[in-house]
A and B are shown apart, each in its own frame.
Chain A
Amino acid sequence: MKVVLDHLTKRFPNRAKGEPDVIAVNDFTFEIPDGKLIGLLGPSGCGKSTCLNLISGLEKPTSGKVWFGDTDVTGLEPENRGVGLVFQNYALYPHLTVRQNIMFPLQNLKGADKLSKEEMLSRAEEAARMVQIEGLMDRKPSQMSGGQQQRVAIARALVKMPRVLLLDEPLSNLDARLRLQTREEIRRIQRETGITTIFVTHDQEEAMSISDQIVVMKLGVLQQIGQPQEVYNDPINLFVAQFLGTPAINTFSGEVKGGQVFIGDEAVLPAPGVPDQKVFVGIRPEGFIPDENGAFSLDLTRIEVMGRDISVVATHPQAQSPSVRAIISSESEVGAASKKVRFSLKPKKVFLFAAESEERIRF
């Protein structure tokens, strides 16, 4: 089932008196292709949950429409949309066993859809098998680990065979290791079922690693959509560039003069055809090549060896952050004793942004 958002907007009256309305979701228009996993990504408070609630029907949009396939579902109640929703805190009913929790949605079915007891039990078993918790069916949620509870929540969302699966920060209550494992699991389940899935997270790494496409948003405004690698390699503005990637991109204030990019008084890269102006220069950590004759110099703070790679931590007066980080291969030689290190830059890893609008300047 493909999901289409058409100029979707949601305003909330501001909680503080007299302040203007909060526009949690501002004029969203995009299409989620059938059977894909989409990562909805953005900092806290940018409207990710609201967007999800609009798709599930828990919130009604101020304007705009939601389409599932060729049907307009904007006016439909949540229960008639056929969506499964997994919450950040799982929202498992604590007084019910795992089996009862998974069966709960099925017991709500009425009329022609009504299932017999046996059918419900076998559907619950099936869903439990899919998330590999079939051995824990008689436990209460409180008797299970966070990861297991998360699986139960997914099973409960899957058991009614939803057309669209929505996951709202499903991994944020898990520890780092379990998080890694569970996200692979979600990926596998999504592939197996082929259900169109929207995955909300503020962790860019999580979104990048499992999504077919990521949607980056900021303050209710959609910034960029695309395949994770595509968005990473070709960010549309400074915000997207800074939001994606660990370690984060290094940002410097600089200037374009006569077709050259200047950071401080060093001309670090040619930028043919770009008119003279003030800019922000973003350089990915992997965009540095140690080079004695390189055009760009940094003041070395320390060197961190991380096995395969070396992380060079340095400072620069024009940098927007207190430290600059460059990741280089461990074979390259950097004199730890030297005060200044010189680099040449990989042009593909350097982005220019207009100083005022922070929009990307391509060259």
Chain B
Amino acid sequence: MKNNKLKAWLYLLPAIAFLGIFMVYPLVDVFVYAFQEGFNFASQTYKGVGWHNFSYVLRDPYFLQAIKNTFIIVIITVPASTGLALLISLGLNSIKPLKNLFQTVYFLPYVTNTLAVGLVFMILFKKTAYTDGLVNLIISWFGGEGIDFIDGPYWAKMFVMCFYTVWVVMPFKILILTSALASVNEDYYKAAKIDGTSKSRIFFRITLPMISPMIFYLVITGFIGAFKAYSDEVAIFGTDLNVAGMNTIVGYVYDMLYGDSGGYPSYASAAALILFVIVLTITVINLMVSRKNVHY
């Protein structure tokens, strides 16, 4: 018996060592950094232990801006992309001809590099000395006034950002949802049809519960992904996100570590921990909501 236990631990040792070195140790390190006040990177010394890093970060206007941006992106893009993906998947599922073609088209952004998609968005939205950008041309063609979406007002930039994020995350969601919809047994719909069930009732009472595990999966990963957004912002607004006013929490962490004004692992760690707490809270709320509404 005892021998067996020892053996079990022995077998687990490589995995534990691996996880310990590459996951637990950095996590602990982040924790330690976050609470070391006045840490000096060059001499690897610190002055004391406490909450100072957190209070600094939470009073930093750049961080507050990053939190605001991140939350706006999360709150807009997660429901919008999931809802749109569901609509498109339902449409795809109900057409027979050209279904494969459409599926491929919708999937293209997923296999395309983020930066390339970002470039396309620049061409669409950016004002330069030579052109106002395609979208502005269309707006002015309809008699509207052109806006600089990349260097203009905050809401315009945020609009492009959300549009872009939805665009980038949607293909994956469509892929997941179309296969979820296709895997619902046809007999359920036949049974419902025999019983004279209305279209909306079929959707809300049969289809939605049947694919609810997949929707739940998409919402959770969507939230987490959107909270960790950074590269998409860089793709459109460049690396100086603070100046553009479009920084995100992860962007802030990066800037604190490696940016032009970087070299503050303590502040970066504090910001990262704050993000961690936010994501954890949201995920727990998600799980609690799902208990009631997700049917496995």
Contact = CB atoms under 8 A, between A and B. Distances in A.
A33 interface: no
Nearest to A91: B187
Nearest to B294: A95
Contact of A85 (B185, B190, B209, B210): B190
B194 A83 contact: yes
A108 B195 CA distance: 7
Contacts of A83: 194
Contact of B295 (A78, A79, A95): A95
B191 interface: yes
A147 B15 CA distance: 46
A105 interface: yes
A182 B191 CA distance: 21
Given A87-B187, A91-B187, A79 B193 contact: yes
A79 B195 contact: yes
A58 B193 contact: yes
A14 to B, nearest CB: 16
A58 B196 CA distance: 11
B211 to A, nearest CB: 11
A89 B197 contact: no
B185 A104 contact: no
A325 interface: no
Contacts of A251: none
B209 A79 contact: no
Nearest to A142: B296
A1 B187 CA distance: 26
B201 interface: yes
Nearest to A153: B191
A78 B193 contact: yes
B201 A108 contact: yes
A77 B194 CA distance: 8
A73 to B, nearest CB: 13
Interface in A98-125: 104-105, 107-109
A314 to B, nearest CB: 46
Contacts of B195: 79, 104-105, 108, 160
Contacts of A109: 196
A77 B192 CA distance: 12
Nearest to B293: A95
A239 interface: no
Contacts of B188: 91, 93
A196 interface: no
A145 interface: no
Contact of A56 (B194, B205, B210): B194
Contacts of B192: 104
A91 to B, nearest CB: 4
Of B185, B190, B206, B212, most buried by chain A (CB within 10 Å of CB) is: B190
Interface string B255-296: 000000000000000000000000000000000000000010
Contacts of A58: 190, 193-194
A93 B185 CA distance: 10
Interface in B74-132: none
B183 interface: no
Contacts of B3: none
Nearest to B202: A108
A108 B194 contact: no
B88 to A, nearest CB: 24
Given A93-B206, A95-B210, A108 B187 contact: no
Contacts of A85: 190-191, 194
A84 B194 contact: yes
B196 A79 contact: yes
A313 B187 CA distance: 44
A108 B191 contact: no
Given A95-B209, A95-B210, A89 B201 contact: no
B44 interface: no
B4 interface: no
Contacts of B185: 89, 91
A108 B193 contact: no
Interface string B193-235: 1111110010001100110100000000000000000000000
Interface in B145-188: 185, 187-188
B187 A89 contact: yes
Interface in A24-63: 56-58
A108 B197 contact: yes
A80 interface: yes
Nearest to B188: A91
A89 to B, nearest CB: 6
A94 B295 contact: yes
A126 B138 CA distance: 65
20 contacts: A56-B194, A57-B194, A77-B196, A78-B193, A78-B194, A79-B193, A79-B196, A85-B194, A87-B190, A87-B191, A89-B185, A91-B191, A93-B188, A94-B210, A95-B209, A105-B196, A107-B201, A108-B196, A108-B197, A109-B196
Interface of B: 185, 187-188, 190-198, 201, 205-206, 209-210, 212, 295
